[in-house]
Amino acid sequence: MKNLITSFIFCFLFGECFPQAGEWTWIKGDSIPNQAGSYGVQGVPSPTNNPPSLYEPCEWTDLNGNFWLFGGGNLTVRNDLWKFNPLFNEWTWMKGSGMPYDSGSFGIQGVPSPTNNPPALSWAMASWTDNIGNLWMFGGTNSNGTGGVQNALWKYNISSNEWTWMKGSDSLSPVGFYGIQGISAPTNNPSGRNESAAAWTDDTGDLWLFGGNYFNTNNGISYNLNDLWRYNISSNQWTWIKGSEFQNQAGTYGVMGVENIINTPEARMVYSHWKDVDGNLWLFGGRDTDVIFFNDFWKYNINSNNWAWMGGDSSGNAISIYGTKCLPSFNNMPGARFENRAEWKDQSGNFWFFGGGDGIGGSFSNLWNDLWQYCFATNKWIWINGDNISNPLGNWGTLGTSSPTNKPNGRGGAVGWSDNNGHFYMFGGTNLNGGYNDLWKFTVDITCGVCPTSTSIQENNFNNELLVFPNPTNSSITISFQSSSNQTIELRIYNTLGKQIYLEKAAITAGKYEKEINVKKLSDGIYFLQVKMKEGNINRKVIINH
């Protein structure tokens, strides 16, 4: 009886009992929409504290593993700053007025103050954590009812609990000053924007920003951007790096998987983003002004200053190809969507995202609760969890208790974090009934959707070494490897949709085997060579560039 009471107290205080791999656990907040939250006392954590229901706030993870949340809207728009401690399962209201539509206090640019506060902001501000743990925020839609966007850059110092207005204007819908591409200057500033969810901190500590939506309060014109910017913290200067200074620009896709100086994603807003183990910047999906939804996948190489289109459809509005849960496939591909900002990178460097939506006329009509994993080393997507239909109902289950039937409902505009143990957390967002303040935890199942590492791909779990050269190629490839026995092998080539386009069987003898394959008739792009033999399959990525 004593042990039972102890377990109950633990579950009550920490909101989580025996989470199981591959399962969602509802750990905080409410299961019904449009909640007012419970603020408690500013600066004091409490198990009863909860933010209100919020749509498109922004989020950070600090260097101690705590989660942070600012702003967001639903029935109102806020300027409150919240901290969540995943070890104690407690929220703390840290800054802000606690009142809707607060106008904030900019103070003096560059000067921190305990009275400084950003105004109430929503619609996907860009956010970063720098290398020394400060929290940064850019843009968003102001709360004053006009829908005006901002280009103010803010820094929050955790230790002093102070905001600093660092750069940009305190006015609504300011136009940008681009300067000369590639050259930093104190007068450079991105234009005001919201829905600019793709923001990265590079390995040197610079902050990067791509695209988003500009809304002009004077004429009601709204347009999307595809400009890429870098902000240097030490010089307090922006640099326009890539993309156009003009509105609603079309993309240049080039050859899938191949970097090119002219490649550029189409202008868009609200997408998923990641940084890979090599420091490259990635984005997925989004929406343009004409209500075309994307599922294209892009990588930006900081060192070469080039974009590469890595997957997905180049024409928009593609449907999802789910395949089988937990099984990677070249055929699998998430469908076109936006507001899927709840994304994560796991401890093996693979990318994940949840949900999002699409719709006609800019409003949501289809919302999703699917959870996807991208295997970085093999360029394969895996459907991990959730439904393959739009607008699915959720099942919250019992607060703090995981279950295979638990699942969030379809929603967009949620945000996500990961803890030091590799668990994923998701907060808020909206569906057709309104906004939410529920906090979910997902425990990764390492047996579902196993992604090999780059090392394991190269070694293929056995000792045969396959050489493919030249690679990239414009005419033919030669394969070479050592066979340990006499056997019959199969040589296959697949395109990125998983369609087999080449098959040859060959009887080989023990020893070195070489074979030249003519690929002149294949279009430029990424292909996958598979050698099927009794020891197992060897896989290699082949790039054709005529």
Q: Where are the beta strands (DSSP E) in 392-486?
A: 415-418, 424-427, 430-431, 434-435, 439-443, 467-469, 476-483
Nearest to 367 by CA among 328, 399, 397, 335: 335
Radius of gyration of the chain (CA): 24
Contact 241, 281 (CB under 8 A): no
Nearest to 191 by CA among 136, 243, 235: 243
Intra-chain end-to-end CA distance of the chain, in Å? 74
Full-prediction pTM beyond 0.85? no
Looking at residue 13, its pLDDT comes to 45
Helix (H, G, I), strand (E, B) or coil at 521: coil
pLDDT tens by residue, 294-336? 999 999 999 999 999 999 999 899 999 999 999 988 889 999 9
Contact 222, 148 (CB under 8 A): no
Looking at residue 143, its pLDDT comes to 65
Contact 424, 343 (CB under 8 A): no
Looking at residue 12, its pLDDT comes to 43
Looking at residue 465, its pLDDT comes to 67
Looking at residue 26, its pLDDT comes to 98
Looking at residue 397, its pLDDT comes to 98
Contact 87, 128 (CB under 8 A): no
DSSP 8-state assignment for residue 470: S
Amino acid in the structure at residue 165: W
Give the CB-side neighbour count of residue 100, counting CA atoms within 13 A. 11
Q: Show the CA angle centred on residue 30, arms to residues 395 and 423, nearest 5°.
A: 70
Nearest to 28 by CA among 46, 6, 2: 46
507, two tokens: 């009887």
Helix (H, G, I), strand (E, B) or coil at 355: strand
Q: Where are the beta strands (DSSP E) in 452-508?
A: 467-469, 476-483, 487-495, 500-508
Nearest to 308 by CA among 522, 123, 165, 496: 496
Find the helix or strand (DSSP H, E) in which 9 lies: helix 2-14
Structure-token match 């460097």, residue found: 349
Return mean pLDDT, the chain: 90
Give the chain's length: 546
Structure-token match 């198990």, residue found: 47
- Sites in the chain below the pLDDT cut of 70: 1-18, 143-147, 217, 360-363, 452-465, 497-498, 535
Contact 259, 306 (CB under 8 A): yes
Nearest to 273 by CA among 419, 124, 150, 385: 124
Helix (H, G, I), strand (E, B) or coil at 108: coil
Amino acid in the structure at residue 192: G
Q: Could you tell me how far CA 223 lies from the centroid of its own chain?
A: 22
Q: Classify each residue of 47-68 as buried b or exposed e, where b means 16 or more C-beta atoms within 10 Å of its C-beta.
A: eebbbbbbbbbbbbbeeeebbb
Peptide bond into 47 cis (omega under 30): no
DSSP 8-state assignment for residue 184: -
Q: What are phi and psi of 361, to 5 degrees?
A: 75, 15
Nearest-10 Cα torsion for 121, 123, 126, 129: 70
Peptide bond into 470 cis (omega under 30): yes
Give the full edge-to-edge strand order of the sheet including 424-427.
23-28, 439-443, 424-427, 415-418
226, two tokens: 């595809």
